[in-house]
C-alpha cells in the first residue's frame, strides 16, 4: 500500500557542509526542486545550526535532523522534546530499547522518531569488528522490529534491506534510505551499501537521502530535478 507522501517529499537532500552558509546557498540554488533537507552532525558543530533549521522551516522546507541521539534515556528524551519544538519532521536515535522508548515517548508536534539500523558505511567486516555475530540483514530486521515495539515511527536503512523490512512491516514503518546513487555501483567513498533511486523505491523505501550526487554536480538543480523525475516515473 502506497503511503500518502507527495512525490516531491520523497527526496531528502543531505546538507553535508562544514558551515551553514554554503548549505543555505545550495537550498537557494535548488529552489523548488527540493522541499526536504537533512542536517546532521557536521553542521551541528558549526555556528548557525539552529538558525539554519529555523530558516529552512520559514522557507516551508521539511527538515530531517540526523544526530543519532545516543545517551542515557532521560537525556535523549529531553533532547528529543526540545527538538520537537523546532518543527523538525524527522530525528534519529541510535541505541537500545530503553533509549528508543524514551525518544518515542518524548516526541511531540508531529515529529517522527527514526531508529538507525545499520549504517550504510558498514559491511560484514565492520560488524565483525564491532562484535556482531549476525549478518547485516538479520541485524537490520531485528533493529526494525525493536524500534516499532519501542514506539518509533520508522528506521533508517540501506535499500538493500528494505524488501525484507517490508515483509515484516509493509505499511506502518517509515523507511528512510541513505546511500542513494543515480548510477548503480557497489562502493562509493565511505558508503559501502548503496542503491539507485528506482531500485530503492521498488524495494519499498519511503524517502531517499541524496548528498554528493546533488551537492557536487556541475548543476545541482538539474541533478535534483533528474532524481525527482526518476522518483515520479518509478511511482507512477
As annotated, the active-site residues are 68
Q: CA of 136: how far to CAs of 107, 121, 148, 161, 162, in Å?
A: 29, 12, 19, 8, 12
Q: Where are the beta strands (DSSP E) in 112-156?
A: 112-116, 154-156
**Cβ atoms 118, 139 nearer than 8 A:** yes
**Cβ atoms 200, 232 nearer than 8 A:** no
**Cβ atoms 94, 66 nearer than 8 A:** no
Q: What is the CA radius of gyration of the chain?
A: 17
Q: Where are the beta strands (DSSP E) in 36-95?
A: 36-40, 62-69, 90-93
Task: For residue 58, give every residue at least 6 positions away whose Cβ sits within 8 Å of its Cβ, in sequence order, or none.
Answer: none
Q: Tell me the C-alpha distance between 167 and 188, whole Å.
A: 28
| 3-state secondary structure at position 228 | helix
Amino acid at each position: 500500500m502506497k503511503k500518502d507522501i507527495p512525490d516531491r517529499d520523497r527526496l531528502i537532500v543531505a546538507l553535508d557542509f562544514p558551515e551553514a552558509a554554503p548549505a543555505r546557498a545550495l537550498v537557494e540554488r535548488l529552489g523548488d526542486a527540493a522541499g526536504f533537507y537533512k542536517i546532521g552532525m557536521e553542521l551541528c558543530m558549526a555556528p548557525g545550526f539552529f538558525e539554519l533549521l529555523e530558516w529552512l522551516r520559514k522557507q516551508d522546507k521539511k527538515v530531517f535532523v540526523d544526530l543519532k541521539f545516543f545517551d542515557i534515556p532521560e537525556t535523549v528524551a529531553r533532547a528529543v522534546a526540545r527538538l520537537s519544538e523546532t518543527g523538525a519532521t524527522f530525528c534519529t536515535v541510535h541505541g537500545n530499547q530503553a533509549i528508543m522508548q524514551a525518544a518515542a515517548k518524548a516526541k511531540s508536534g508531529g515529529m517522527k522518531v527514526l531508529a538507525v539500523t545499520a549504517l550504510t558505511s558498514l559491511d560484514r567486516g565492520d560488524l565483525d569488528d564491532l562484535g556482531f555475530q549476525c549478518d547485516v540483514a538479520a541485524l537490520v530486521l531485528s533493529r526494525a522490529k525493536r524500534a516499532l515495539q519501542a514506539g518509533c515511527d520508522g528506521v533508517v536503512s540501506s535499500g538493500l534491506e528494505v524488501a525484507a523490512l517490508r515483509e515484516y512491516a509493509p505499511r506502518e514503518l517509515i523507511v528512510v534510505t541513505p546511500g542513494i546513487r543515480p548510477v548503480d555501483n557497489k562502493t562509493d567513498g565511505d558508503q559501502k551499501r548503496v542503491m539507485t533511486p528506482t531500485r530503492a523505491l521498488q524495494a519499498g523505501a519511503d524517502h531517499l537521502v541524496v548528498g554528493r550526487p546533488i551537492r557536487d554536480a556541475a548543476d545541482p538543480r538539474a541533478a535534483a530535478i533528474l532524481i525527482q523525475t526518476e522518483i515520479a516515473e518509478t511511482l507512477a
